[in-house]
């Protein structure tokens, strides 16, 4: 018993440490990008094609622009896209899962929509929607929002079906409570942990897919220092030995994605009792 309690405390401490470190590193990235002014992103012909050094940790590009500044600015831009897309997808998933609890007919329609969207290759659907919306920031956000909701909707729907069969929900129905009252007081509070975790775990997918379609030329405009634009532009210079133009921005993007994934998984262990007990 004593050993079990010690393992449980140790697990919670490790989980809390992972959450804290992830949040601090992500805040550092975002604040660094917000503090970078336009003067640090400007062209400097005197420092063109310089490798990594103390003056320029990520080196400079063919126009003398500091790659560290461009990378952090791009990460901040990707984070903004990820927040809007993940929030929109989460709201779509929440609304559809609540609609699914209304009746069996609506539940079948929602299930059909989930299967339909999951059956289409993700990146193809994203490209089509983004292109149809005119590309740019608006097209990318709409495309990401309309393609990232199915998996979360499936999870929320399963949780919602579990709540509907609970005894306290049956008691509320016998007391004459409306469906709206039950949804607001019973279903929504039960869905909130999964909603929060799903919102955070959507970030890695949204950020990576934004970078992918921007890299392919269907995303953010080329004048913005997005990570996809940086990686796309660097491809023509890799054969000349300027490896730092792609390596550091690519690794920074992967680090941000990994931090969001660690944060989401850690919050799941912290909030979700099932996963918490499973980890112990």
Contacts of 187 (CB under 8 A, 6+ apart): 98, 101, 160, 163, 164
* pLDDT at site 124: 85
CA pair distance 129, 135, nearest whole angstrom: 9
Q: What percent of the chain has pLDDT over 90?
A: 3
pLDDT in tens, 69-86: 889 888 888 888 888 988
User: Does 49 reside within a domain?
Assistant: no
Contacts of 280 (CB under 8 A, 6+ apart): 4, 7, 8, 11
Residue 157 has pLDDT above 70, yes or no: yes
User: Does 52 reside within a domain?
Assistant: no
User: Does 80 reside within a domain?
Assistant: yes
The lowest-confidence range among 3-12, 57-66, 92-101, 171-180 is 3-12
* Rounded (to 5) percent helix, strand, coil in the chain: 80, 0, 20
**How many structural domains is the chain composed of?**
1
What value does the mean pLDDT take over residues 172-201? 80
Buried b / exposed e across 206-215, counting CB within 10 Å, b at 16+?
Answer: bbbbbbbbbb
User: Does 2 reside within a domain?
Assistant: no
pLDDT in tens, 166-178: 777 778 777 877 7
Q: Return the structure tokens found at 197.
A: 């975790």
Domain holding 28, by residue range, is: 11-44+58-279
φ/ψ of residue 66, rounded to 5: -70, 120
What CATH number does residue 131 fall under?
1.10.3720.10
User: Does 6 reside within a domain?
Assistant: no
pLDDT in tens, 259-269: 888 888 888 77
Q: What mean pLDDT, rounded, does the chain reach? A: 82
> The whole model's pTM is what?
0.78
User: Does 97 reside within a domain?
Assistant: yes
User: Does 190 reside within a domain?
Assistant: yes
Confidence class for position 88, pLDDT limits 50, 70, 90: very high
User: Does 5 reside within a domain?
Assistant: no
């Amino acid at each position: 018993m004593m050993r079990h309690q010690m393992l449980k405390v140790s697990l919670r401490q490790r989980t809390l440490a992972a959450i804290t470190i992830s949040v601090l590193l992500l805040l550092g990235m975002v604040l660094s990008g917000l503090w970078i002014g336009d003067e640090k992103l400007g062209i400097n012909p005197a420092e063109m094609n310089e490798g990594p050094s103390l003056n320029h940790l990520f080196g400079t590009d063919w126009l003398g622009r500091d790659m560290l500044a461009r990378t952090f600015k791009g990460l901040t831009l990707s984070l903004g896209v990820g927040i809007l897309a993940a929030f929109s997808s989460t709201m779509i998933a929440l609304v559809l899962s609540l609609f699914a609890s209304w009746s069996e007919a609506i539940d079948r329609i929602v299930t059909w929509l989930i299967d339909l969207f999951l059956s289409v290759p993700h990146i193809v659907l994203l490209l089509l929607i983004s292109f149809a919306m005119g590309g740019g920031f608006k097209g990318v956000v709409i495309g990401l929002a309309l393609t990232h909701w199915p998996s979360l909707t499936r999870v929320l729907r399963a949780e919602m079906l579990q709540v509907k069969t609970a005894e306290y929900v049956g008691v509320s129905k016998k007391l004459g409570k409306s469906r709206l009252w039950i949804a607001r007081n019973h279903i929504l509070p039960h869905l909130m942990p999964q909603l929060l975790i799903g919102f955070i775990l959507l970030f890695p997918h949204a950020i990576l897919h934004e970078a992918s379609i921007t890299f392919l030329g269907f995303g953010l405009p080329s004048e913005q220092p997005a990570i996809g634009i940086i990686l796309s532009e660097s491809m023509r210079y890799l054969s000349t030995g300027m490896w730092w133009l792609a390596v550091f921005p690519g690794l920074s993007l992967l680090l941000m994605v990994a931090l969001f994934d660690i944060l989401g998984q850690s919050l799941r262990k912290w909030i979700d009792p099932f996963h918490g007990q499973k980890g112990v």
